[in-house]
Amino acid sequence: FVGDIAGTFGCLLGLSPTVTAITFVALGTSLPDTFASYEAAIESDNADASIGNVTGSNSVNVFLGQGLPWLIASIYYASRSEKYQVSAGDLGFSLVVFLPCAVICILLFFVRRYKCGGELGGPVKPKQLSALVMVLLWLIYVLMSTLQSQGLISV
> What integer pLDDT is reported at residue 81 of this predicted model?
92
Residue 29 contacts residue 6 (beta carbons within 8 Å): no
Q: Cα separation of 98 and 43, whole Å?
A: 30
> CB-based contacts of 121: which residues, under 8 Å, 6+ apart?
41, 127
Q: Cα separation of 134 and 128, whole Å?
A: 10
> What integer pLDDT is reported at residue 2 of this predicted model?
64
- For 66-87, the pLDDT digits (tens) are 788 888 998 999 999 998 887 7
Q: Cα separation of 130 and 108, whole Å?
A: 7
- CA 141 to mean position of chain CA atoms: 9
pLDDT tens across the length of the chain (155 residues):
766 777 788 788 887 777 787 777 777 777 788 888 888 878 877 777 777 777 777 777 777 777 888 889 989 999 999 988 877 677 778 888 989 998 998 899 889 888 888 777 778 898 899 999 999 998 998 899 888 887 888 77
